[in-house]
Amino acid sequence: MADNWPMNDVSDSRDYPALTILVDQQPQLEFDRSQGLPDHQLAGLERMDVQMDTGIQAGDRWLEQPDRLQRAQFVAVQLVEALQQGNDALAAASCAYLATRLPDLQQVKAVRIDGGFSLELVFDEPYVPETVVEFTARPVS
């Protein structure tokens, strides 16, 4: 497996903020890294890695030995497509994969464009919900 990242639960990632998945600037999923994963879910993530060990399709290129970031980009694409198709199980598994394999990943930002989407993995800034401030007009004297 590429890069030998930790395969354990996220208990060693408690210092990292949640992973937030945004589509068109709207939060869709959030993974709380302070909550571990059950063994059967960790085993499912391991199976995802084993499948990717045989290679992945990245756009028009076949990557025989994808590195950690290439795997993350591949899984992030699957996650966004799963959200668009309403496949909650795949979206949740993909989100858990990204959160456990890249503990410093803080946001996945997808923006729909021309029937597809652009994707950005954000490592250096946590998601902060927008605060709406409403101003009330003062009565005119």
**What pTM, to 2 d.p., does this model score?**
0.80
Partners of 110 in beta bridges: 23, 119
Structure confidence at residue 139 (pLDDT):
79
**Does 12 score more than 90 pLDDT?**
no
Alpha carbons 15 and 5: distance in angstroms, whole number: 17
For 12, phi then psi, to 5°, come to -85, 5
Other Cβ atoms within 10 Å of 18 Cβ, number: 16
Q: What is the pLDDT of residues 75-124, one digit of tens each?
A: 999 999 999 999 999 999 999 999 999 999 999 999 999 988 999 999 99
Per-residue model confidence as pLDDT tens digits over 26-54: 999 999 998 889 999 999 999 999 999 99
Q: For 53-59, which contacts have Cβ atoms below 8 Å and span 24 or more sequence positions?
A: 53/1, 53/2
Give the DSSP letter string of 67-102. -HHHHHHHHHHHHHHHHHHT-HHHHHHHHHHHHHH-
pLDDT in the model for residue 15 = 61
**Residue 52 burial (CB count, 10 A):** 19
